[in-house]
Homo-oligomer: A and B are copies of this chain.
Amino acid sequence: MSKAIILFGHGARNPDWAQPFHRIRASMERQQPGVLIELGFLELMRPTLDEAIDGLVARGANEISIVPIFMAAGSHIKKDLPLMVGSALDRHPDLAVEIAAPVGEADYVIDAMAKYALN
């Protein structure tokens, strides 16, 4: 039994766009060494969410928490993501997947963004 976390992002054409995602992963690894983390993108960047899930299952994960690194839940989170997760569960019937609320909805993330905007 092994748990993993996927940071789910939108993706963009410019490779620099992924930098904050790599920084979030690095910060998580500092806060909790040994945690199994993968990035997974909706479009335009690799690995895709499908590739991230399949790769983690291949490494032994049977529980995956998907954390949307989005400001808020729009149609990508409410419609596209559940469809992608449904398809992954068809491929991996023993996998458990949890979809978290978007990171932009967490109180202390809100407060950190407010602090930044004031400076």
Specify the main secondary structure of chain A where it touches its partner. helix
A to B CB contacts below 8 Å, 19 in the list: A9-B71, A12-B74, A14-B78, A20-B105, A21-B72, A24-B117, A25-B114, A28-B118, A31-B118, A35-B118, A37-B117, A67-B116, A69-B104, A69-B113, A69-B117, A70-B71, A106-B116, A108-B115, A111-B112
Number of copies: 2
Complex interface: chain B residues within 8 A of A37 (CB): 117
Contacts of A10 in B (CB 8 A): 71
Of B25, B32, B116, which contacts A103 at CB under 8 A?
Answer: B116
Q: How far, in whole Å, are A23 and B17 apart by their CA atoms in the complex?
A: 25
